[in-house]
Amino acid sequence: MISDAGPRRWKPAEVATVQQVANFLARAISQAEYEEQRHDYVSRLENLDRQKTEFLSTVSHELRTPLTSIQGYLELLLEGEVGPMSSGQRHMLGVIERNTNRLRGPRDLTGAAARGALRARDPLSSISNRCSSAYKLEAAGPAWGPPARD
């Protein structure tokens, strides 16, 4: 015969064990959610990086064509192929030449990005590094035991 003497009394050791298991499961669930969010975030960063590369490639190509034409005609003018020029005109062409050379400097923006030349000011790189650092710190924490108290 089964008798019901009321609610069961849990021993302190049993309560502690159940609390530890609950803490472990809560951390495992939180870690799984964090991993999923991190994966989504990294995927978005990779997509943005691809878009940036495509944009830089397009801009680089679109700048190259008119700059080549401008540079060619500028050389003809500076060499006097089309006739004599005043010193004022030569000065203006010098300004045009300096600015054309400045625009030609980052001709291959895609190559500069691939070499890391644009990384110093690239916020995506900084965000990615921070995300990776935060993940390493969290992963180094204890996997079992009571939660850390502030």
**Which burial class, exposed, middle or buried, applies to 45 when counting CB atoms under 10 A from its CB (0-12, 13-18, 19+)?**
middle
- Overall pTM > 0.85: no
In this predicted structure, the answer to whether residue 59 has a pLDDT above a threshold of 50 is: yes
Q: Which of 2-6, 31-35, 61-65, 129-133 has the highest mean pLDDT?
A: 31-35
Least reliable range by pLDDT among 1-10, 11-20, 45-54, 72-81: 1-10
Radius of gyration of the chain (CA): 33
Instruction: pLDDT band for 144, please (50, 70, 90 cuts).
Output: very low
Mean pLDDT over all residues of the chain?
Answer: 79
User: What mean pLDDT is predicted for residues 34-55?
Assistant: 95
- The terminus-to-terminus CA distance of the chain in angstroms comes to 51
